[in-house]
Amino acid sequence: MTPNADEIHTAVRERYARAAESSSCCGPAGDSSGLIGRDLYRAEEAEAVPDGALVASLGCGNPTMLADLQPGEVVLDLGSGGGIDVLLSARRVGPTGRAYGLDMTPEMLDLARRNQAEAGVTNVEFLLGTIEDVPLPDGSVDVIISNCVVNLSPDKDAVFREAFRVLKPGGRLAVSDIVLRRPLPEPLLQVMALWSGCATGALLEADCRAKLGAAGFADIDIEPVQVFDRADVLALAADDLGGSVEVPDWVDRDATALALDGAVMSAFVRAHKPAA
C-alpha cells in the first residue's frame, strides 16, 4: 500500500531532522556527494555562505540562479533546509528585498537560523510550516524557489495551489526538483525510504505540467539537467536501503536500481502567474 500523507510527512521530517544533525543527506553521513548533491554552487556562492549552510545543502540544483533574482524582490524558498538558497537569495535581492525560508522540520530551522546569524544577513525570515499550507498572505511574494522538495510532498496539487496563491500577479516559480521520465513499478511506491530519498514521490513530466496548469500557472517549462543512471541509483540505495532504514523484506537493491535506472532526472521547472 502506498504511504499516506501523514506517514510521508513523518518520514520526511525524521529524515531531515537527522540530516540537520549530521549536515548530510542523499549520501553517507558527512558526505554531500550522493545521488543529487554535486557541485551545485559556484565558488563565489560557496564563499558567501557559512560552511554549515553549504554542507547541509541537500538539493538537486541551484534555484537562486534559475530565478534571476532582482534587487527589491520578495523571495520564498519552499523547504529551505539549512538555508543556503535563502541566504544567497537575500544577498541578491539586497536590503530593499526580503527572503523567506519555509520548512516543517524544527531541527532544520534551528540550523538555518544559526547559519543566518553567522552570515550576518538580516533581510531573512525562517518560517515553520508545510509547503501545502504556506503561512504567508495572498499575493505577497515575487518569486518562489525550491530545491528538491516538491517531490517529497504527498499533495503536489496543494503545493502548486499555495504557490500560485502567495505569488503576486506576474510572479514566477523557479524550482529545481526531481521529475520522472517514465512510471515506476507500483511496489516501489510502498518503499518509504525511496519517498523520503527524493525518488518515488516525484511526478512524471506530463503530470507536473498538468498540475501546474491546473493551479493557474502559465509559460510552463521543464528543462532536464541530469538523468540518473544505475550507478547513481545504487549510490542512493546503498544509503537509503541500508541497515539504518526499515524497509520491506522483499526489497532487492539491485532490482530497485534497475527499475529506477534512467527513470529519474533532476530538472529546472519554471512557470509564471499571469499578470492579469
Task: Give the tens place of pLDDT for each residue, 208-258.
Answer: 999 999 999 999 999 998 888 877 765 654 544 444 444 555 556 667 667
Q: What pLDDT, on the 0 to 100 scale, is given for residue 41?
A: 57
**Does 181 score more than 70 pLDDT?**
yes
> Rounded to a whole number, what is the distance in angstroms from the first to the last CA of the chain?
43
As a whole number, mean pLDDT of residues 188-204 equals: 66
Q: Confidence band (pLDDT; 50, 70, 90) for 183?
A: confident
**Does 2 score more than 90 pLDDT?**
no
User: Please, what is the average pLDDT of the chain?
Assistant: 79
Is residue 94 helix, strand or coil? coil
Q: In this structure, are residues 72 and 123 in contact, taking their beta carbons and an 8 Å threshold?
A: no
For the chain, percent of residues with pLDDT exceeding 90: 44
CATH of domain 5-272: 3.40.50.150
Q: Apex CA 52: angle with CA 51 and CA 53, to 5°?
A: 90
Task: Give the tens place of pLDDT for each residue, 25-35.
Answer: 443 333 433 34
Q: What pLDDT, on the 0 to 100 scale, is given for residue 57?
A: 53
Distance CA 51, CA 56 (A): 8
What count of Cα atoms within 13 Å lies in the side-chain half-sphere of residue 119?
Answer: 30
Q: Which candidate, 65, 66, 100, places its Cα nearest to that of 83?
A: 100
**Does 121 score more than 90 pLDDT?**
yes
Q: How do strand 167-180 and strand 264-272 relate by DSSP bridges?
A: antiparallel
Q: What pLDDT, on the 0 to 100 scale, is given for residue 59?
A: 58
Q: What pLDDT, on the 0 to 100 scale, is given for residue 38?
A: 44
Task: Return the CA Rg of the chain.
Answer: 17
Distance CA 60, CA 37 (A): 6
8-17, 106-115, 203-212: range with highest mean pLDDT: 203-212
As a whole number, mean pLDDT of residues 129-147 equals: 97
Q: Which three cell numbers stand for residue 276?
A: 492579469
Q: What pLDDT, on the 0 to 100 scale, is given for residue 244?
A: 42
Task: Give the tens place of pLDDT for each residue, 42-70.
Answer: 555 555 555 544 454 555 667 777 788 99
Region of 136 please: left (phi>0), alpha (psi -120 to 50) or beta. beta
DSSP code, position 148: S
Q: What pLDDT, on the 0 to 100 scale, is given for residue 226?
A: 86
